[in-house]
Amino acid sequence: MVNQKVSEMAENLIGSEIIKLAGEVKAKMAQGEKIYNLTIGDFNSKIFPIPSELKDEIIKAYQNDETNYPPANGIQELREAVSRFLHTREGLEYNANQILISGGARPLIYAVYQTLIDPQDKVLFPVPSWNNNHYTHLSRGQQILVQTTPENKFMPTAEELKPYISEATMVAVCSPLNPTGTTFTEKGLKDICDLIIEENKKRGDSRKPVYLLYDQIYWVLTHGETRHVDPVTLCPDMKNYTIYIDGISKAFAATGVRVGWAFGPQKIIDKMKSILSHVGAWSPKAEQVASANYLMNDKAIDTYLASFKSDINQRLQAFYKGMKDLKDEGFDVDVIIPEAAIYLTVNFNLVGKRTENGT
């Protein structure tokens, strides 16, 4: 028998469950089965195409032969455009050197973990959440899971995190939350920020501080009266400890275009850049050039988002109303009001139930 032993990390690594499930669903659909694919957070590009201006910019960039290697941290024009976008849309002040471009959000999250987490360091994150267990494993850290509740819309609270904060090197959260479509309240997030700041004052220089990984990839897609909140706006002292994850994939239905960015303390961003330069997880240069030009087009962005968000919210509200009507009719169903992103959280009590054919 051939000896094909691999590293302990690789041997025990589980592939992305949601990607595996999505692949199985697509295979069944290809065989003609009628299935509504509600797995990966993606868009039907025939219904939700990327902005026409962005598409035109991508085509133009390829026609102009923007096809060589980009800088490891992203082209200057895109980092400056992102800096402007953050300033005008969120009121956040980060210069181009504090911004890192990559091929979507995943490499950036990986780089955050590799930059901050040593073997056996503990990462504190709520469940449900997106893939933090896998990134903790990849960095050979230890995970501390905090179970959230529907009463708090599955968003973690400072009270739930407090018993574990002294052990943690990083807290990883996401708002709007994948996979629930719910968001932090201003008070809820500020309480968590205050908890981290208080813990870091106790640590002084003797230990690594507690860092906050803040995944806000869906932040543009808030609905109704919901308003996105972020750590540094609420608590300026968090600027030393917060690394944001963001990009165009969800905001502009551009999941396959692969342009994401992280921003935070420059030393951490520089180390993340070094890691990704070895991984080679660059966003294609043509897409970077196109995204830089598009992000400067405020009118096009406003027009696109007004229509895009309205169409998404209309669908979410229709599904929400349908589930609420079922509950009102006595069915054992519960549903949380959608606040953001493209997700609706529904609870079907199906334990012990059977379909008409007995399955």
Task: Determine the pLDDT at residue 21.
Answer: 82
Pairing state between β 122-127 and 168-174:
parallel
Whether residue 210 sits in one domain with residue 175: yes
Whether residue 114 sits in one domain with residue 254: yes
Whether residue 77 sits in one domain with residue 11: no
Whether residue 271 sits in one domain with residue 147: yes
Task: Determine the pLDDT at residue 20.
Answer: 81
Domain C-terminal end among 298, 323, 338: 298
Q: Which of 21-30, 179-188, 349-358 has the highest mean predicted lDDT (pLDDT)?
A: 179-188
Task: Determine the pLDDT at residue 18.
Answer: 76
Residue at 164 is within a domain: yes
pLDDT band at 358 (very low <50, low <70, confident <90, very high): confident
Cα-based torsion angle of the residue sequence 133, 139, 144, 150 in order, rounded to the nearest 10 degrees:
-30
Residue at 305 is within a domain: no
Among the residue ranges 163-177, 304-318, 341-355, the one predicted with the least confidence is 341-355
pLDDT band at 204 (very low <50, low <70, confident <90, very high): confident
Is residue 74 classed exposed, middle or buried when 0-12, 13-18 and 19+ CB atoms within 10 A define those classes? buried
- Strand runs (DSSP E) across the chain, as ranges? 99-102, 122-127, 142-147, 168-174, 211-215, 242-247, 260-263, 333-335, 346-348
Determine which helix (DSSP H) or strand (DSSP E) holds 292, and give its type and residue range: helix 285-295
Whether residue 103 sits in one domain with residue 184: yes
Count Cβ atoms below 10 Å from residue 296 Cβ, excluding itself: 14
Average pLDDT in the 241-256 region? 98
Residue at 147 is within a domain: yes
Whether residue 174 sits in one domain with residue 129: yes
Report the distance separating Cα 73 and Cα 231, nearest Å: 24
209 Cβ contact partners less than 8 Å away, ≥ 6 residues apart: 199, 200, 203, 240, 241
pLDDT band at 83 (very low <50, low <70, confident <90, very high): very high
127 Cβ contact partners less than 8 Å away, ≥ 6 residues apart: 145, 146, 147, 148
Average pLDDT in the 195-206 region? 94
Domain C-terminal end among 243, 277, 298: 298
Residue at 268 is within a domain: yes
Average pLDDT in the 270-280 region? 97
Whether residue 82 sits in one domain with residue 28: no
Whether residue 136 sits in one domain with residue 61: yes
Task: Determine the pLDDT at residue 107.
Answer: 98
How many domains is the chain partitioned into structurally? 2
pLDDT band at 1 (very low <50, low <70, confident <90, very high): confident
- Asked if the model's pLDDT at residue 351 lies above 90, the reply is no
Whether residue 20 sits in one domain with residue 95: no
Side chain identity at 103, as an amino acid letter? G
Among the residue ranges 30-44, 94-108, 197-211, the one predicted with the least confidence is 30-44
Whether residue 227 sits in one domain with residue 123: yes
Range of the domain at 1: 1-40
Residue at 97 is within a domain: yes
Average pLDDT in the 208-230 region? 98
Task: Determine the pLDDT at residue 207.
Answer: 92
Whether residue 158 sits in one domain with residue 70: yes
pTM for the full model? Answer: 0.94
Whether residue 165 sits in one domain with residue 25: no
Task: Determine the pLDDT at residue 192.
Answer: 99
Q: Please, what is the average pLDDT of the chain?
A: 96
Residue at 304 is within a domain: no
CATH number of the domain bearing residue 226: 3.40.640.10
Residue at 324 is within a domain: no
- Asked if the model's pLDDT at residue 49 lies above 80, the reply is yes
Residue at 333 is within a domain: no
Domain C-terminal end among 298, 330, 351: 298
- Asked if the model's pLDDT at residue 352 lies above 90, the reply is no
Report the distance separating Cα 101 and Cα 246, nearest Å: 10
